[in-house]
């Protein structure tokens, strides 16, 4: 096997990467031509794209290639789920230094496959280019399967706000790594790759969710998107939100505020949605607040002091 991605060559690497993915039923024509062909039984396609930049979204001394691959896929697949759709396929573009080890690229592909396997999605193509650092761009596609897409713009006065998934774990893991530690392992792994409740997106749509968003920039920031697009105010209740014990425990060790991590930490890719108040929600959906008339986001009836989450150009 060639030592570096430059020795391997662009098309040989893309072929090696995509060959590691069995093609699913929606894929009528996979990699090998100028474009792939997908079946679209619903007649509509959900499309999203996201980017990971080395040094900004991950560090190779903190995250292995499998972690980077899984995270790159997860960030996009979760956006598809947040629309109430089932992810079906992704395309991947990789920018990398010429001397990047071939094994790194192939393990990265394994990570992509592992995350896509969770939802039955396929990798149907991609591109590669030389760069001074590793940059990954993923485009994901999804199938609404007859559902109406759940937008950010549908929340109504009187709805409840509920979350499915973990909050504050990835931020806690980032703080642990930043201090030079590698444990608690569960928190470090949460930073390296989120544990996304993919099936909760279509589930929420089937239960009549009025608005939905994945939590990638921070709960307050992403709930703020729903509030702004819906023309309402959201009040988050700390007594209902809670803090998971691993997050609370390490915050105590580090002398940090765990509530701030839960409210503003990103990269957990939980799903947050609004529902009519009478909706009977499954246990994994935790009601954490209410939708009211007005604008903005409150915490226990008061504006939150401090940044609401991640900002891309800070």
Is 235 marked as a binding-site residue? no
Q: Is 300 annotated as a binding residue?
A: no
Q: What is the dihedral of CA 118, 123, 129, 134, to 10 degrees?
A: 0
233 near 295, Cβ under 8 Å? yes
Residue 57 annotated as part of some ligand binding site = yes
152 labelled as ligand-binding?
yes
Residue 216, annotated as binding a ligand: yes
91 in a known ligand binding site: no
178 annotated ligand-binding residue = no
Is 210 marked within a binding site? no
Q: Is 49 within any annotated ligand binding site?
A: yes
Q: Which two tokens stand for residue 197?
A: 């409740």
Q: Does 206 belong to an annotated binding site?
A: no
The annotation status of 257 as a binding-site residue, yes or no, is no
Known binding residue 127? Answer is yes
Annotated binding residues for substrate:
57, 267
Annotated binding residues:
34, 48-50, 57, 79, 126-127, 152, 214, 216-217, 267
Annotated binding residues for Mg(2+):
34, 48-50, 79, 127, 214, 217
Annotated binding residues for ATP:
126-127, 152, 216
């Amino acid at each position: 096997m060639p030592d570096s991605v430059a020795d391997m060559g662009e098309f040989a690497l893309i072929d090696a990467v995509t060959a590691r993915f069995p093609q699913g039923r929606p894929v009528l024509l996979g990699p090998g031509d100028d474009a792939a062909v997908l079946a679209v039984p619903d007649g509509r396609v959900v499309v999203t794209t996201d980017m990971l930049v080395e040094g900004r979204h991950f560090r190779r001394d903190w995250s292995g290639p499998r972690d980077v691959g899984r995270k790159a896929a997860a960030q996009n697949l979760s956006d598809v789920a947040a629309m109430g759709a089932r992810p079906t396929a992704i395309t991947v573009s990789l920018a990398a230094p010429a001397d990047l080890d071939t094994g790194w690229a192939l393990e990265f592909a394994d990570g992509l496959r592992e995350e896509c396997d969770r939802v039955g999605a396929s990798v149907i193509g991609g591109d590669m280019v030389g760069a001074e650092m590793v940059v990954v761009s993923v485009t994901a596609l999804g199938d609404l399967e007859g559902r109406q897409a759940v937008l950010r713009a549908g929340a109504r006065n009187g709805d409840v706000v509920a979350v499915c998934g973990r909050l504050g774990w990835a931020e806690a893991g980032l703080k642990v790594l930043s201090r030079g530690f590698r444990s608690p392992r569960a928190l470090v792994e949460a930073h390296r790759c989120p544990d996304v409740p993919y099936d909760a997106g279509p589930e929420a749509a089937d239960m009549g969710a009025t608005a939905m968003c994945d939590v990638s920039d921070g709960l307050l920031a992403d709930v703020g998107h729903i509030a702004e697009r819906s023309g309402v105010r959201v009040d988050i209740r700390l007594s209902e939100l809670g803090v998971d014990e691993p997050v609370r425990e390490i915050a105590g060790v580090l002398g940090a505020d765990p509530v701030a991590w839960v409210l503003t930490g990103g990269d957990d890719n939980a799903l947050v949605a609004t529902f009519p108040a009478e909706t009977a929600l499954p246990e994994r959906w935790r009601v954490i607040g209410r939708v009211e008339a007005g604008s903005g986001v409150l915490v226990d009836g008061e504006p939150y002091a401090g940044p609401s989450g991640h900002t891309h150009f800070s």
